[in-house]
Amino acid sequence: MPKVVFTYFNGKALGESARLLLSYGGQEFEDNRFTIETWPAIKPTTPFGQAPMLEIDGKKYAQSMAIARYLGRKYGLGGATLEEDLEIDMNADFINDIRAKAATVQYEADEALKKKKHEDFTQNVYPALLNKLNEIIGQNNGYIALGKLTWADFVFAGMYDYLKFMMQTPDLDEKYPNFKKVVDHVYSLPQLKAYLAAAPKCEV
């Protein structure tokens, strides 16, 4: 079994999907969590000055979606055909698009502009995106794609709390009930039981 180290902040956000996928695949890994204070020392050691980072036998890889896609396919959570992979990629990238839009609001430095953008996005941007995602999940029996468990479900479940935090909408479960179905499908997997019991508790 290869030596695997996963490096990310002590939070879920863009890192939890890989931790969940590694656990699902039965891969022992070093869960290297860092803080805001220690990040400056780690940043130059990453491929692009970004986290997360996955190391496999000393070789370093970056980009959360690339890592999730790789692990998903490695552990049998990809499609059976190129077209099925395309569907998974399409819906997973849509989720990442939603996250990216929320991030432009959450990480706006100007507080007055941030408040204005939050009001605008809450009324004019998020509803259409979230309704579409809720519809996609409904059409796929409570999953993100193909009507069954794929690596895209791990991406969504891993960042779900982070999305709620950035959007400042803790009632997403009530507004979009299919979201919770994906989260429950992932977090109820027996392969994740040991990891979830031992992992540090993080809100986002």
Tell me the average pLDDT across 45-56. 98
Question: Is 203 within a domain?
Answer: no
CATH number reported for the structural domain that contains residue 123 in this entry: 1.20.1050.10
pLDDT > 90? residue 73: yes
On whether both 69 and 118 belong to a single domain, the answer is no
pLDDT > 90? residue 70: yes
How many residues comprise the chain?
204
On whether both 86 and 71 belong to a single domain, the answer is no
Q: What is the largest CA-CA distance in the chain?
A: 51
On whether both 95 and 65 belong to a single domain, the answer is no
Question: Is 122 within a domain?
Answer: yes
pLDDT > 90? residue 6: yes
Question: Is 204 within a domain?
Answer: no
Tell me the average pLDDT across 176-203. 96
The predicted structure's pLDDT at residue 170: 80
- Please report which residue ranges of 7-148 form alpha helices under DSSP H: 16-24, 39-42, 64-74, 82-106, 111-124, 126-139
CATH number reported for the structural domain that contains residue 20 in this entry: 3.40.30.10
On whether both 86 and 181 belong to a single domain, the answer is yes
On whether both 89 and 69 belong to a single domain, the answer is no
Mode of pairing for the β-strands spanning 59-62 and 53-56: antiparallel
What is the identity of the amino acid at 191? Q
On whether both 52 and 70 belong to a single domain, the answer is yes
On whether both 86 and 177 belong to a single domain, the answer is yes
Specify which residues 45 forms β-bridges with.
none
pLDDT > 90? residue 141: yes
On whether both 69 and 114 belong to a single domain, the answer is no
Which region, left, alpha or beta, applies to residue 76 given φ > 0 means left and ψ of -120 to 50 means alpha? left
The rounded distance, in Å, linking the Cα atoms of 19 and 23 is 6
Question: Is 44 within a domain?
Answer: yes
On whether both 117 and 93 belong to a single domain, the answer is yes
Mean pLDDT of the chain: 97
Q: Tell me the pLDDT tens digit for each residue of 162-186.
A: 999 999 988 899 999 999 999 999 9
On whether both 89 and 58 belong to a single domain, the answer is no
Kind and range of the H or E element at 55?
A: strand 53-56
159, burial (CB in 10 Å: exposed 0-12, middle 13-18, buried 19+): buried
Question: Is 183 within a domain?
Answer: yes
Question: Is 137 within a domain?
Answer: yes
Task: Calculate the alpha carbon distances from 167 to 64, 134, 155, 173, 199 in Å.
Answer: 20, 16, 17, 13, 25
Sign of CA dihedral 127, 133, 138, 142: negative
On whether both 90 and 66 belong to a single domain, the answer is no
The predicted structure's pLDDT at residue 128: 97
Its domain, for residue 39, covers 4-75+190-198
Question: Is 113 within a domain?
Answer: yes
On whether both 34 and 95 belong to a single domain, the answer is no
| pLDDT over 70, % of the chain | 100
Question: Is 20 within a domain?
Answer: yes
The rounded distance, in Å, linking the Cα atoms of 13 and 160 is 8
Number of domains in the chain: 2
